[in-house]
Amino acid sequence: MKNRTKLVLVLSALALSTAAFLARERDKARNRPVYDANLREARITFEDFTATRYLSGSVTSVARAKSGYLLEPNMLELFGDVSFRALKGNGKKQYWEQLYCETATAYFRSNSLAQMITSSSMDHIDLRGFVKLETRDVTLETDSAVYTQGNGILQSSSKTQLSGPGHYVKGEGGFSFDLRKEELNLFGPIRGGGSFEMP
């Protein structure tokens, strides 16, 4: 009888410890965060974001914002005083082209965050809130715009204001600006006047 009692006690202790172990593992599984790559939540967060591109040891472009978030699988969101500066022209005719806005979302051609960081190219950028482009003596302002990397075109369907020395024009239907060729199309109705010449 003593052996039976010991066997029952050992089996009871084993059953109790197994039940406790399973309950603990079940609680761990319930409290474990579930990550879904399709969710748009920040994987990496930046304060005082700055990205700089160099060519032959010289700065050719700079992007800045108060904060930035990398999101799976292919997005970079920038918030607060967003600015992009790019060096244009060559030799003595170099100048800085500058673009400002409140928020920007860049979309990359990638399937994962790792691919986006290491080797993907940008597809387009959505710019929102007080979008302002300064190139040479011309200033272009609108509420929102999209820049497409592939063709180098900045475009908007929002009301647009173009200003500079000797001209001030408003385009009610937006604009399309080829930044590579420096060709601007304002869509009407158009109000204002002056002479227009890109230096």
Q: Which residues contact 158 (CB under 8 A, 6 or more apart)?
A: 142, 143, 144, 145, 174
What tokens were used for 19? Answer: 């039940």
86 in the same domain as 8: no
pTM recorded for the entire structure: 0.72
> Does the residue 199 lie in any domain?
no
97 in the same domain as 118: yes
pLDDT given at position 35: 47
What is the rounded average pLDDT of the residues 54-83?
Answer: 89
Structural domain that includes position 7: 1-33
Buried b (16+ CB within 10 A) or exposed e, 58-96: eeebbbbbebbbbbbbbbbbbbeebbbbbbbeeeeeeee
58 in the same domain as 28: no
86 in the same domain as 17: no
Q: Which residues contact 15 (CB under 8 A, 6 or more apart)?
A: none
More confident residue, 116 or 123: 123
82 in the same domain as 19: no
Decide if pLDDT at 144 tops 90: yes
Q: What's the total number of domains in the chain?
A: 2
Q: What is the pLDDT of residues 145-156, one digit of tens each?
A: 999 988 989 999
Q: What is the widest separation between alpha-carbon atoms in the chain?
A: 111
Query: Using an 8 Å Cβ cutoff, are 83 and 100 in contact?
Result: yes
60 in the same domain as 155: yes
18 in the same domain as 94: no
Q: Which domain CATH number covers 134?
A: 2.60.450.10
